[in-house]
Amino acid sequence: MVIYMKATAIIASGGTGLRMGSALPKQFISVKGKPILARTLSVFNICTGISEIILTAPAGYEALTENIISAFNFEKAARIITGGSTRQQSVYNALQAVSGADIILIHDAVRPFVTTEEILRTIEAAGIYGACSLGIPVKDTIKICDANGFVIGTPARETLWQIQTPQAFLSGVIMKAHEQALLDGITATDDAELAERIGQPTRIIMGNYANIKITTQEDLLFFQDKAGDIHNTGSVSAFF
């Protein structure tokens, strides 16, 4: 494995979770005494390849985010950055706070089932290829439809991958990608797309079908069923 002196993880936690239909942003929903955000942070905090963690937080939720960090003793969580109006803006804000990192990972706060092994593999791949993302082959046939709902194409399933996070990049690559997107007024669905725009190939490595993004009530039910009790040194029950 290629070893880099410093890998920083940006945990994108700036969303308000409108699709969840909850009054509380979904990353702060507590399951079995632990918020989803805390479950995600636990994995990055114990990962030996991660030197520091920078979080984005929705405006008005910075103090709650700080309370979670303190309650669970996430010592690698170095800074909290107020998120922007979009995920892309939130990540860009967090990138401004990164200093001295060789590799920058970007991960959705509501993907709590990522593993330390997957994190380490993305760091390694980013060091080799410049840009890397976890992904899984799609299981179902995908149809391309027009605005009226009629099929206009069927892409070959073996070429299609469902993208996950973390995505990892050489620090110079992802900084340049975001800065160029800002100059061009471009909004992308993920950070790898921004890297692709500046000519940086992205290497997709095998992820895990369990590494879901908790977006809907159905996802939350899955999380409630699968989330195990994780040792912690504090309680955040009073926060909710």
3-state SS assignment for residue 18: helix
pLDDT digits (tens, 9 = 90+) for 16-71: 655 555 678 889 988 888 899 999 999 999 999 999 999 999 999 999 999 999 99
For position 169, what pLDDT does the model report?
98
CA atoms within 13 A on the CB side of 236: 26
For position 230, what pLDDT does the model report?
37
For position 33, what pLDDT does the model report?
83
Give the β-pairing of 7-12 and 103-108.
parallel
What is the chain's percent helix, strand, coil content, to nearest 5? 35, 20, 40
Higher confidence at residue 26 or residue 200? 200
Q: Per the structure block, which two tokens stand in for 2? A: 């290629």
For position 240, what pLDDT does the model report?
35
pLDDT digits (tens, 9 = 90+) for 80-124: 999 999 999 999 999 999 999 999 999 999 999 999 999 999 999
**Max Cα–Cα distance, the chain, nearest Å:** 55
Residue ranges of alpha helices (H) inside the chain are 36-46, 62-71, 87-95, 116-129, 171-184, 191-197, 217-226
For position 92, what pLDDT does the model report?
97
Of 106, 79, 82, nearest to 175 (Cα)? Answer: 106
Express as a percent the part of the chain with pLDDT over 70. Answer: 88
Are 134 and 210 in contact by the 8 Å Cβ rule? The answer is no
Are 80 and 10 in contact by the 8 Å Cβ rule? The answer is no
For position 58, what pLDDT does the model report?
93
- What is the average pLDDT value for the chain, to the nearest integer? 89
Domains and CATH numbers, the chain: 7-229 (3.90.550.10)
Q: Per the structure block, which two tokens stand in for 240? A: 């909710």
* pLDDT exceeds 60 at position 4: no
For position 7, what pLDDT does the model report?
97
For position 221, what pLDDT does the model report?
75
